[in-house]
Structure formats: C-alpha cells, structure tokens
Structure 1
Amino acid sequence: MIDIKYLYKAANRAGQTVEGLIEAPDKKAVVFALRAKSLYLLDLSEVSQRSSTDIALGSGMLPKRTLAVFCTQFASILKAGVPLIQALSILEEQTDNAKLKSILQAVGEDLQRGKGLSEALSMHERALPPIMIKMIEAGEISGTLDISLERLAATFEKEHQIAKKIRSAMMYPMIVTIVAVMVVIFMLLFVIPRFMGFFNSTGTELPAITQFMLNLSEFIQHNWMILVGILLMIIAGFKVFKSSPGGRLAWDSFKLRAPLFKKAVTRVLAARFSRTLATLTSTGVSLTQSLRIAGKVVGNRLAENRLMDVEESIKQGKALNVALSDTALFPRMLVHMTKIGEESGTLDQMMGKAADYFEEEADTAITRLTTILQPVLLVIVAVIILFVMLSVLMPMLTMYSNIK
C-alpha cells in the first residue's frame, strides 16, 4: 500500500502542542504511530500532492546543476558559522532560480514556526529529490549537516555530468535526422514538382521510381495539414502513453531490453544506484530506506520495481548482493563489488568506487552508442537522398537517350 503524507497536530504528555509530518497508509495508522511516541492526535490533514510553489511555478524537479550549486553554497555558509535561518535568507537572495527562491522563502517561514529543515523541505518533494531530503535529515540528526550538503553537491554534480553526456551524445543524431527530413520535404514539395512539369511537357515516359516520388509529392501537397495533424497526435499520444504508469513501465522496460541501448542504460542505472546508495549509507541512513530512495532516483520504473523487491528481500534476511543478483538488472561487476563491501563492512566505500567505475563505463557506452548511430544515420540519409535524386535523374537520362 502506498503511504500518504499527513500534517498532524498532537499533544505530548506535558500538554504541549507539537506539529509535524508523517507518512502512513491511512489515518488509523497515524493514530497508532503517534501513540507509540506518546503523542495524542488533535488535528490531522492530508498534505496536498502539490504545494503552492508547484502550482505557481510548475511541478518539475529542480535541475541537478542548480541543486549542486545550492548545496555547495549552503555548506560553505554553514561552515562559516552563519545561523540556519539567516543562511537560507542569504541563499534566497543569491539564487536566480524563481522556483528555488520561492521554496527557500517558504522553508525559512516554516523554520521560524519551529519545524526542522528536512521537514520543511519535504513539503516541496515535487521539486526536491528524496535523496536530498533524507540526507539533510540524517545530517540534522548527526550534527553534520554541512558534510551531508557537500556529499549531496558532489552527487548532484555527477548526475548533471551524466545527463549532459547523454544529451550531447544524442544531439548529433537528432540534428542529422531533422536536417535529412527537411531536405527530403523541400525536394518533394519544391524540386520534384518543377522537374515533373518539364518532363510532362516533353512527353517523357516516367520510370516507376519517378512516378512514385511524384505521387508522394502530390499526396503531401494536398494533405499536408492532415499529415501534420497526425504527426502531432502521434507525438501527443506518445507523451500521454509515457506519462501513464503502464506506459512508463513499458517504455523503461524497452530501453533496458533493446540491444542497441541496453548496455548504456544499464551502466547509467548502475552508476546512479551506486552513487545514491554510497551517499545515503555513508551518513547513517538505513539500507532499506536507502534502497527505497535509490529506486526513485535511478529514473527507470522497471528498476524501481525491482529495487522494491530487493528491499523486501533485505527485510526477509537476504544479503544485498544476493538480492541484487536475483533481479538480473545490474551488471555482475556491481553484484561482486556489493558482496565485497558487505563482507568487509565497507559497503558505502565500495559503492562509491562502484559509482566511479560505472560512471566511466556509462561514458564509454554512450560514446560507443554515438559512434554506432552516426554512420548508420548517415547511410540512411544518403540512401533517401539518392532515391530522391534518382527519381529526377532517370527521366533526364531517358530524354538524353531519345535525343541521341
């Protein structure tokens, strides 16, 4: 059952009123959880899935680069001995990101009301990743908030670099594809019709390839609005499909199983998983909680489901390396490194080394994918353009032969 976030007001044994956030399957579970802490419920309300910040500025996550800079600056200010509320006020003035500015303003107000930093940040979980909230909570408890923020900054910077490499790798294929489509459309709509008018005036018999291109050109000219509408509907339909739970799972499963993308995708997932686990376990977050957060961070629904299975296996007493092996999701190298970390009692350090290793592997796999796609796309584009050119040249050769 999925936990729901509730905002509660309760009284302790001394009669003092306390407020806070709690996650539970239902309201009855909240009552039992609070009684276990010797708290008596006074008021309870379900927290909206969207905060006022989400509604005003959109519900997407803040960019990893923005978060990396924020965490670095936050850690530096705290190390300088600046009080927490004042530090947030300084960061609010410094940032150019409107959404982050709004969040920091709201968090500062919550802190003045007596809430903890992680509790205040959790009100903006649509914009802030779960690893950030959990790491800050661990830093608050251990009194090492500045260290937690530095580790978060390093993690977000690594994530930013991976995403940047993926975007750079896909940029060239996208540009080649767009240019090729534009060239073909231009030739079909403007070049071929002019030549066809000339060939028809001379009575030249058109070859099959030329007749096909002429028919295609006429079809596009007469139905271009319908074709554009169909294309837009396909794009919109695909976006709706991807945003649905079943569609997202199917798309993520395809990326993990497609031979062309499998190696790059699995390496990226392994790097994200290892980095998240290393960052969280190093600050004292429990393994089961770390796995739950890692599942949300990896960015793949199938992987998230498999990591939920791993979490359940850990609760039943299985070793992490065995549970990971059962998923058949990650490379064997990660399983072996996990086993070494568990046996030596240095899981966080070994996961850090695994993250470094798989980040390099991901970089290599992405580069290799690009080197494969580039010549394949160029050949496809060349064949299409050759096909169009032949449709023009063949009638001209026929005319030349008839003249001779």
Structure 2
Amino acid sequence: MTIFEYKALNASGKVLEGTIEAATPADVLSQLDNAGITPLSMRETSASGGRSWREWLAPEPGAEDITGFTVDLAMLLKGGVTLNEALVILTQMETRRWLVRLIRQLHTGLAGGNSLSKALLQHPKLFPPLYVKMVEVAEASGRLEPALNSIAQERRRSERLRKRLISAMAYPGFLAVAAVGVLIFVLLYIIPQFEGAIAGFRDKISPSALFVFRLSETFRANIDVIGGIVLGLLVALLIIKQFGKKRALWLSLLSRLPFTRQAVTYHITLTFCRTLQILLENGVDISTSLRLIRGISPLPDTMHKIDNVIAEVRGGKRLSQALARETLLPAHVVQMLRIGEEAGDLGASAGRVAGFYETKLDSQLGRLTAILGPALMMGVSLLIGWLILSIMSALMSINDLLV
C-alpha cells in the first residue's frame, strides 16, 4: 500500500488537501469519486510502512492537543456544521503541522467512506479504545456532539488530576534529587580533602566518621560501576515509557507504600466510577463498559478483578453482586452502586461516587504534599549535618591525640 497526497474540490467548491492510503492511483480516484470530491492533483509520497525523516522529527500531538481538537470539533458540530466541513475548518484554523496532518488523515478516512470511529482506529496511540467506542456508539445513536463534549470534559478532568499529582510529587522529588546530589558531591570532592589528615589515625577516630571515609573510598573506587547501573536504570525507564508501562510501574510501587496506598485506592475508585458513568450515560452497555474500563486499568491485579466481574455479569449477575465478591472497590461504594442499580440509575450513582472520591483524592494529595515536603527537607538537613559532624569529630579526635 502507498500513501498519496491529493488536492480536490468538494461539492461547495472548497479546496481540500489530504492523504489517502491505496494500492494504485486509480484506487485513489475511485475513493475520491465515491466521496463526491473532484480531484485536482495527486502524487505519491511514501510507503505506509516507512516515514520520512521530517515525519520522524515532527512531534506527535499530545493529550492536551487531542482534548483541544475534541472540544473544537464538538463546538463546530453544535453550531450545525457537518462533520466533513468541521474537519476542513479545523485544518484551516490549526497552525501546528503535526495536528494538521492528523486532522487531514481523519478527513481522508471519512472521504474514503469510513465512519469517524473507524478513522480514529487508525491512530490507537492518540485515540484510546474508550474514546473510539464512545464515538462509535454516538454515531449510531446520532449523539456525536454530546458524546464529544463528555469525552472532552473527562479528558480535561484527567489532565487536571495528572497535573495535580505531578505538582504534588515535584517538590518532594526535587528534594530527593538534591539530597542525592549533595551526598555524591561530598563523597567525591569534600571528604577526599581530609583523608591526608586522618592517615595513620584511622583506628583512633569514631566508627561513624570512619564509615563516612570508607563510604567515600568505596564510592570513588566503583564510580564506573555505579554510573553504569544508573545509566542502565535510565535506559530501562525509557524502554518502559516507550511501551507505555511507566504509569503502571509507578502506580504499582505507590500501591505498596503505606503513605500512598490510600491515594491509589481513591484513584482506582474514581477512575472506575467516572468512566462507568460516562459510558453508561452515552449508551454503552454494561459488559462493553467493563471491558473498556479494564483496558484503562494500569494495575495487573485490578485488571484480573475486573475480568472476574465481567465473567459474572455475563453470567447473569448484577454489577453490584459481582463487585461485592471482589476487593476492587470499597464496600460502601458497592452499596451505593447497588442502590443506583436497583433504582435504574446506575450511571448517575457512579457519577456521585466519582465526585465524592475526586474531592477525597485531591485532599489526600494535598496532605501528602504537606507531609513529604517538610519530611524530605528534614532528611536532607540531617544528612548534611551528619556528614559535617562526622568529619569534624574525626578532625577533633586527631587534634586531641596530637595535643
């Protein structure tokens, strides 16, 4: 298959530009003709399996770019613009080349006779299955604009939460890095300046001071090995990030720490209930909703529990009954979902739970920031103080011996 760039006129006389993947130029002309578009020019660009160096260097749209695109598309549809025309307008309005290329590819998919959901499927890194499924259901029910608004609101909420989490961890993380940097600097450059002074007196100084000097010697003797280990860890983190497992790794770690375990539980509950609310309110059935929620769950243990819930729901049990058998959600959350399920308003009940836990998670992050910041600051201060006292005690011991 080959990628072709084209220029064409639509029924209203507007010039359209885009790309089409096809086997031959004749197939391109056939696709454009079926879409009611008159071709003006066409040229082959590159094979679908390869990318030019410009494409490799060009950045891909980020999560906030996709959210902005979703908001703009929903606004145009609400104003009565057709989907095809909305994509053309967004192409003309947008100034970022990588986002323009994406919108043109979506428009090309529509021009080839595909639905928007099928066009989104060609970009799985940018449009997750949850996004695509909601669009698919909305297209079938004729509620695309409200669905896009719901998607945009949820993505904005997730982005705010992610920024809140990053800001909560940034200051403690900076302090931790600063502490490690101070320790390395002291071990490499400060302590060696005093080694000549303690030569011949090692058996006379305190064990604490002797430990510091030996630690410095060991560190300097194995600096290459330590540097290799650090480099290997950085490479491993990059690989994990490339394969999309970084978030799962951090959440798995945080779920095992006593002071962050509760925040992870709040996050899992919030994600489950908020996603369930959005999917149910947009017409997605309960079985499909659970499968999509399972797809966005980063923790293997959570995914396994959702698999069990899906199996029981498909076996004829209610969602609340299936959840009661697992430890996926707190017991009172399952009770609230049961009440909503019995009242025939499960989506709204899940939304109320999500709102409650969003507030709790925000408060928990605030408390963690308030505790971790001062705690790490005290730790850094104690570390520096210990190093200084160890060196000074060694020098004072030598001075006493000489006197």
TM-score bin, normalised by smaller chain: 0.7 to 0.9
Partner residue of 1:316?
315
Distance 2:203 2:162 in 1: 55
Aligned ranges 1:69-84 → 2 under 5 Å? 69-84=68-83
Q: Which has the higher helix share?
A: 1
Partner of 1:4: none
Q: Is the 2:209–2:394 Cα contact (8 Å) retained in structure 1?
A: yes
CA positional deviation for 1:233: 2.1
| Secondary structure in structure 2 of the residue aligned to 1:259 | coil
| TM-score under structure 2 length normalisation | 0.78
Partner of residue 353, structure 2 = 354
Instruction: Specify whether residues 342 and 88 from structure 1 end up closer, same or farther in structure 2 by C-alpha distance, changes over 3 A only.
Output: same
Corresponding residue number in structure 2 for 1:394: 393
- The 5 A counterparts of 1:14-25 are none
Paired with 2:140 and 2:175, the residues of 1 have a C-alpha distance of: 52
Deviation at 1:249, TM superposition (A): 7.6
How far apart are residue 100 of structure 1 and its match? 3.8
Give how far 1:396 is off. Answer: 2.7
2:66 matched residue in structure 1: 67
In 1, are the aligned partners of 2:137 and 2:283 still within 8 Å (CA)? Answer: yes
Residue deviations 1:179-199 (CA, integer Å, cap 9, x gap): 111111111111111122344
My pick for the range that moved more, 299-308 or 110-119, is: 299-308
Partner residue in 2 for 1:290:
289
- Paired with 1:333 and 1:148, the residues of 2 have a C-alpha distance of 30
What does 1:2-401 align with in structure 2 at a 5 Å threshold?
Answer: 63-95=62-94, 99-200=98-199, 205-237=204-236, 255-401=254-400
Q: CA deviation at 1:221?
A: 2.5
1:56-84 per-position Cα deviation (integer Å, ceiling 9, x unaligned)? 569x9964432322221111111112221
- Which whole-Å CA distance do the structure 1 matches of 2:243 and 2:85 have between them? 42
Q: Deviations over 1:80-118 (max 9, x none)?
A: 122212211222344455554333211110101111111
Q: Tell me if structure 2 keeps the 8 A contact 1:249–1:302.
A: no
Structure 2 CA distance, aligned partners of 1:61 and 1:362?
31
The superposition leaves residues 356-388 of structure 1 with CA deviations (integer Å, 9 ceiling, x where unpaired) of 111111112222233332343234323322321
CA contact (8 A) 2:63 2:126 kept: no
* Cα gap change, 1:223 to 1:165, in 2 (>3 Å): same
Could you tell me which runs of 5 or more consecutive residues in structure 2 were left unpaired when the two chains were aligned.
1-30, 32-48
| In 2: Cα distance, 1:155 partner to 1:394 partner | 59
**What are the ranges of 5 or more consecutive residues in structure 1 without an aligned counterpart?**
1-16, 18-49
RMSD (Å) for aligned C-alpha atoms = 3.4
Question: Which residue number in structure 2 is paired with residue 20 of structure 1?
Answer: none
Q: Separation in 1 of the partners of 2:202 and 2:288? A: 78
Question: Is the 8 Å Cα contact of residues 136 and 145 (structure 1) preserved in structure 2?
Answer: yes
- State the secondary structure of the residue aligned to 1:124: coil
Higher mean C-alpha deviation, range 78-87 or range 243-252: 243-252
Equivalent position amino acid for 2:322 in 1:
A
Aligned residue type for 2:334: V
Counterpart residue type for residue 295 of structure 2: K
* SS in structure 1 of the partner of residue 224 of structure 2: helix
Q: Distance in 2 between matches of 1:247 and 1:167?
A: 14
